[in-house]
A and B are shown apart, each in its own frame.
Chain A
């Protein structure tokens, strides 16, 4: 009993107005009322309520996936794909979905948007936006094309593009965190600035380049059913999945976006984490720009216009919370894939151009509604 502290022993801590407590005292309360490390007789442990059967474990696992917002989008994605395959099997001529030509198109467009979505999504998880993503994309593509066309090696041109993309994003990050200007405003201004800078750098005409066979093989190889961009997406996806969901930095990104005060209280530096997240966005933007430049061989000064909104839309569709702190890399990729698949379906079905945005818009709003519901339940 010597460890008992002062006049107040454990048993003598009745909470004011807590007479009812003794009535339903369970093993848990008797355990808590044993301070000083004395062993309780029966202690309730996690194991008591841990999932025991495979079914329960699966439910628990699904709930965790849902918590990150990737489950719904995954289900919808699978359903859409199933629908497309069935439609194709019924009417292969009217709806040529499972054709090489179609997959060639999809596997060139999806990776670019998905990589952009990963960049935008990581930053949104950290609690910030970058509206200059599209302008940054254009500028990086121009830098790559111009350097390459001027005779620089693909390495040098690619390196310059990466440096440009990261630098533009870092400037946004530093202005946002150090000058305490909301990223929405900073990057809105920077979007206009870099759009103008692209015209200044390249003029109003398209920048042209002819990629060598090696460069084509590296970035956009024809792999039969798929194009090489898919491999790049795979690499980037795995890399950032590791970084976001399995790395210390990722933990800090979620913490800073989810509750900056809690992060600061534990002495995580939110500014540093956010600037790194901006840097990640810059890296993704530059890579997507290079992939696009090599594929098209010509870059218009307006190439990336609106790209920032598409990327943000893809993250929302993929279950990323715009308020920060929640999201998954898989969701971002699936979000991009879903948006472009629906576009593809409409094109294959012969819908006129203006239908596309109409449906894409609906998907985005529906996805936001979904997210709202999930968030409501998570709280």
Chain B
């Protein structure tokens, strides 16, 4: 039996969204979306532009509150869903560009909002630098980072992602949401990142990978959720699907999915 399957069957349900509906004015961007994410699971969230991926990410991370539907964490319904509540539970979102502050050092970014201070609130910079160096050494192996006191703005896209991930890992987040993490990365950095998600998984951390790149998603995700015009049209484990089916669902929506299942792949 594959360990993945075991994890999925025995893994506790970490996050459950149930009947989530979100409207912007007359525009329904999420329409009755429900799914579960288990502990230690890597879930691919796929869909074309405008499918509702970003809003779903914001809902999961607590930045956006849905009009209808429930947010359950480890089976317990959250009364109010906001960033403070989800942050407390260990949800961390790594947005494509906005996870870090370019004008600050790596150390200050890693400890942003969770600074180590003395009783007066003064920063323990030396200690934080030391820990940051350790984190960067132990979890992220992206070349070219010289010192934790480098400004993040001077790093490449891959290095910045690495720092954001290092931060999430150090603070023992339980659910990592990565919004298009590979779009700015070079090939090798992408490989490192994907491997890194697998490493996290083995440590029991769940992640949601939002991506346009089906190949990246298919390689490492245990399960795939495909969104189309605000609806979930596919929620399937890797064993039960193929890159072709996912492609059909993402590109052509429910229609393409139906045709694929009837054995008539898209032209």
Contacts and interface: CB of A to CB of B under 8 A. Distances in A.
Contact of A326 (B61, B98, B99, B103): B103
A157 B153 CA distance: 46
Interface residues of B, number: 67
A43 B108 contact: no
B28 interface: no
B187 A266 contact: no
A252 B114 CA distance: 10
B195 interface: yes
B187 A7 contact: no
Given A13-B220, A246-B125, A251 B108 contact: yes
A28 B3 contact: no
A258 B102 contact: yes
Contacts of B101: 254-255, 258-259, 262-263, 325
B190 A252 contact: no
Interface string B111-147: 1111101001111010000000100110001111111
A224 interface: no
B229 interface: no
A179 interface: no
A13 B113 CA distance: 34
A174 B178 CA distance: 34
A6 B113 contact: no
Interface stretch (A16-24, A84-92, A182-190, A283-291): A16-24
A50 to B, nearest CB: 6
A259 to B, nearest CB: 4
Contact of B83 (A12, A265, A326): A265
B113 A267 contact: yes
Interface stretch (A32-40, A107-115, A145-153): A32-40
A313 B87 CA distance: 39
B212 interface: no
A2 B83 CA distance: 36
Contacts of B195: 10, 13, 32-35
A82 interface: no
A247 B120 CA distance: 8
Contact of B3 (A5, A34, A43, A267): A5
B192 A29 contact: yes
B62 to A, nearest CB: 9
Given A28-B141, A247-B121, A321-B103, A255 B190 contact: no
Given A28-B143, A46-B148, A247-B122, A263 B112 contact: yes
B187 A18 contact: yes
B113 A263 contact: yes
B72 interface: no
A246 B122 contact: yes
Contacts of B153: 378-379
A29 B188 contact: yes
B227 to A, nearest CB: 22
- Most chain-B Cβ atoms within 10 A of its Cβ — which of A12, A16, A17? A16
Nearest to B198: A35
A365 interface: no
Contacts, number: 191
Contacts of A255: 101, 104, 108, 112-113
A36 B203 CA distance: 7
A15 B120 CA distance: 48
B198 A8 contact: yes
A360 interface: no
Contact of A16 (B117, B147, B213, B220): B213
B83 A264 contact: yes
B260 interface: no
A292 to B, nearest CB: 31
A258 B150 CA distance: 16
A28 B195 CA distance: 13
A51 B102 contact: no
A112 to B, nearest CB: 28
Given A8-B198, A18-B190, A248 B103 contact: no
B80 interface: no
A276 to B, nearest CB: 12
A5 to B, nearest CB: 5
B70 interface: no
B214 to A, nearest CB: 9
B259 interface: no
B95 interface: yes
B188 to A, nearest CB: 5
B141 A265 contact: no
A54 interface: no
Contacts of B192: 29, 32
B222 interface: yes
A248 B142 contact: no
B196 interface: yes
A261 B93 CA distance: 11
B113 A36 contact: no
Contact of B202 (A7, A26, A36, A325): A36
Given A16-B216, A35-B195, A261-B98, A51 B147 contact: yes
Contacts of A349: none
Contacts of B87: 266-267
A259 B153 CA distance: 12
Given A50-B147, A262-B112, A248 B123 contact: yes
A64 interface: yes
A167 interface: no
Contacts of A51: 146-147
B258 interface: no
Nearest to A60: B147
B219 A13 contact: yes
Contacts of B122: 242, 246-248
Q: Top 4 A-B pairs ranked by shortest CB distance? A: A6-B4, A35-B199, A258-B101, A16-B215
5 contacts: A28-B143, A29-B188, A35-B196, A36-B199, A261-B98
